[in-house]
Amino acid sequence: MPLTIRPLTPSGFAGEVSDIDLTQPLTRDQVAAIDDGMDQYGVLIFHGQRFTDETQLAFSRNFGELEVSSGAEMSKARDRRLARMEMADISNLDRDGKLRAASDRMRLTALGNRLWHSDASFRAVPAKYSLLSARVVPGTGGNTEFADMRSAYDALDEDMKADIEDLVTEHSNAFSREQIGFLKVDYGAENQDKLTPVRHRLARFDPRTGRKTLYLSAHIGGIVGWPVPEARMLIRDLTEHAVQRRFVYAHVWSPWDLVIWDNRATMHRARRYNDLSDVRDLRRTTIRGDGVTVAQIQRAA
């Protein structure tokens, strides 16, 4: 049976998919239909997908090479709950399955997910899709919001489009964490090399859809050739524009939802919930992108 996609917003951003079981091996046609759906909607929601870590990893590999989770990479083995380095632990639990304490470092770092961002934009080859599976969800709060960066780009006025056309931004995990009070030294000497800023185009062209996207992220700390305060103000202005409610879909989680988003065409953020008393256990796999963004073709030939 072909899969069915129902748009979740009037603009057609985010779609809800039915008639498919992602825990079973998929046919090439099914994978292609999901890729086409991703190009069209930017975010796809699937309900009732009872993944184990292994079936989530197997399903994710249909879409490309998996990234190692930056959270896993930058933490000590004794602090990690999940065995697989490709599985990002988006939970408030420690390795004994207990709620993390208020002062727990992993808890505080994870609060950075509440800033609007695009996953792994601090990597030279940033992420393509992220696949987030809900295992346990809190009673209230803890939604995930997604912003449509294609529509946000289209809605810029022509002067702004011209102004940003050739801009190159600098991204680092240190820049996003700095916004919530972390210092670069807090990452430890062993992680300093992972904080070196990488460069990406601010206006990206997507050859699959022929559309442009605004490539924004909390990880941005500068624009090449610009004074830092001026760069940060432009990024703030553009972010404020891009996250207007008309560009946003808010996902309210149920257990066993799987949400896939395209980091090249969306930003997202976690919303608050009572993480000192309610369990929220989500697990993310991430597909590596297809190349650097600085040299990419900007217009269709």
Interacting residues with ligand OGA (CB under 6 A): 90, 113, 119, 130, 132, 144, 268, 270, 282, 284
Structure token digits, residue 207: 């050859």
Q: Which is nearer to ligand OGA, 13 or 261 (CB)?
A: 261
Residue nearest to Mn ion (CB): 119
Q: Which is nearer to ligand OGA, 32 or 250 (CB)?
A: 250
Q: Does 89 bind Mn ion (CB under 5 A)?
A: no
Q: Which is nearer to ligand OGA, 152 or 270 (CB)?
A: 270
CA distances from 111 to 91, 103, 104, 150 (A): 11, 12, 11, 26
Q: Does 67 bind Mn ion (CB under 5 A)?
A: no
Number of residues that bind Mn ion (CB under 5 A): 1
In the complex, minimum distance from the CB of residue 113 to ligand OGA, in angstroms, rounded to a whole number: 4
Q: Does 94 bind Mn ion (CB under 5 A)?
A: no
**238 in Cβ contact with 118 (< 8 Å):** no
Of 48-56, 75-83, 117-125, 251-259, the window that binds Mn ion (rule: CB under 5 A) is 117-125
- From the list 86, 119, 257, 281, which residue makes contact with Mn ion (rule: CB under 5 A)? 119
**109 in Cβ contact with 177 (< 8 Å):** yes
Q: Which is nearer to Mn ion, 167 or 258 (CB)?
A: 258
In the complex, minimum distance from the CB of residue 114 to ligand OGA, in angstroms, rounded to a whole number: 8
Q: Does 170 bind Mn ion (CB under 5 A)?
A: no
Instruction: Give residues with Cβ within 8 angstroms of 255, minimum separation 6.
Output: 134, 135, 136, 137
Tell me 260's DSSP state.
Answer: E
Which run of H or E residues covers position 281?
Answer: strand 281-288
> 17 pairs with which residues across the strands?
5, 46
SS3 68: coil
Backbone φ and ψ for 94, nearest 5 degrees, come out as -95, -175
Euclidean distance between CA atoms 155 and 242, whole angstroms: 9
Q: Does 281 bind Mn ion (CB under 5 A)?
A: no
The listed partner (ligand OGA, Mn ion, none) that binds 270, CB under 5 to 8 Å by sort, is ligand OGA
The listed partner (Mn ion, ligand OGA, none) that binds 262, CB under 5 to 8 Å by sort, is none
Structure token digits, residue 267: 């930003």
Euclidean distance between CA atoms 206 and 167, whole angstroms: 16
Of 55-63, 118-126, 153-161, 239-247, the window that binds Mn ion (rule: CB under 5 A) is 118-126
Dihedral sign from CA coordinates of 270, 275, 280, 283: positive
Residue linked to tokens 């408030």 = 92
The listed partner (ligand OGA, Mn ion, none) that binds 90, CB under 5 to 8 Å by sort, is ligand OGA
The listed partner (Mn ion, ligand OGA, none) that binds 282, CB under 5 to 8 Å by sort, is ligand OGA
In the complex, minimum distance from the CB of residue 225 to ligand OGA, in angstroms, rounded to a whole number: 30
Residue linked to tokens 């008639």 = 19
- Which spans of this chain sit near Mn ion (rule: CB under 5 A)? 119
